[in-house]
Amino acid sequence: MGTRQIEFHIAADPPSRLDKALSRDVPAEENLSRTRLGRLIESGAVLVDGSQVTDPKAKVTEGATVKITVAEAEDSHIGPEEIPLDVVYEDDDLIVINKPAGMVVHPAPGSPNGTLVNALLHHCGSDLSGVGGVKRPGIVHRIDKETSGLLVVAKSDAAHHGLAAQFEAHTVERYYRAICYGVPDANEPRLRGVKGVSFEPGNVMRLTTQLARHKTDRQRQAVLFHGGRHAVTRARVVETFGAPAGLALIECWLETGRTHQIRVHMAHVGHGLVGDPVYGGKRKLAVKAFDPATVEAVRAFPRQALHAAVLGFEHPITGESLRFEANLPKDMENLIDRLRAPLS
């Protein structure tokens, strides 16, 4: 595997730590994040004025000459596959995809190919400058296989680091649309008694719990109030269906982004998502709410009715505010059209 040498000088008023100083002064076109630079320092790949420095916290002075030996990015062990992609936005640093339901984001033992990563390796090709030293797309967040909608993926190490920091800080805007059983409403006494539920102005339901893997079913997440990871979801009703109202189109937005968060939170409050095979999305509807064909369409909906509709963040390199929207996919649109139809 080949290597390249990067040489530059430390500018005026350097930060107190070497890794921070390198992150500030390394040429931008090298696409090296502070995390990657820290690893290069620790591996002995950094010389300061001719001397090897292996402590990321070491001090560095203005005018010091830095030489970094960087291995050329390796090809990923994951193979590229020519799979069509709905590209919403793309530049040298990142790509935003509207993922279809049924596509896994990253290869795993049960899904070794046909994934979003396989498709991106083919689509981006030589445009991938290397994430963590490997020519691969930088996955900073995921949505479930059967959830559709927007994902941002990094094409460089620096973009990956910048996007990951925003997700960690919970500053990324993420809105979902979903179809749930029942109508979550502040006036419903039952909901008022569910632990973790509160209501904010505008009939916005706020769900605050801990989430962790279920003790006996490893495919599920479970709501906890001690231990696990902090999780906050907000939801509001957009439209109701049926007479009496039996289903609702809801908008959910995430303060945190845990595995299955919306699905498990909505199930916790008794308003599970239509079609959700894990958290009970096959509930019976009131006999008078819909005609038999509509009831069957709801029962047969083949996936959780959940779509990542809005994604907003700050561009990790330019600082520009970006916001993207993706319309509901056809399967959810068709189901909503049927739910809106008057009883025959």
d(CA 276, CA 286): 19
Q: Are 183 and 139 in contact (CB under 8 A)?
A: no
User: Distance of CA 70 to CAs 40, 41, 67, 106, 118, Å?
Assistant: 8, 11, 10, 27, 26
Rounded (10°) CA dihedral 333, 338, 339, 343: 160
d(CA 252, CA 275): 17
Task: Spell out the residues 6+ positions from residue 270 whose beta carbon is closer than 8 angstroms to its own.
Answer: 181, 182, 190, 191, 194
SS3 65: strand
Of 93, 144, 157, 276, which one is the catalytic site residue?
A: 144
SS3 157: helix
Residue 37 neighbours by CB distance under 10 Å? 25
Phi-psi sector, 323: left (phi>0), alpha (psi -120 to 50), beta: beta
The question of whether 144 is a catalytic residue gets the answer yes
Q: Are 67 and 52 in contact (CB under 8 A)?
A: no
The β-bridge relationship of strands 306-314 and 229-241 is unpaired
Phi and psi torsions of 28, nearest 5°? -60, -35
d(CA 93, CA 318): 10
Rounded (10°) CA dihedral 306, 309, 310, 316: 80
* CB neighbour burial string for 334-343, b if at least 16 within 10 angstroms, e if fewer: ebbeebeeee
Q: Where are the alpha helices (DSSP H) in 169-325?
A: 189-192, 261-268, 292-299
Residues involved in catalysis: 144
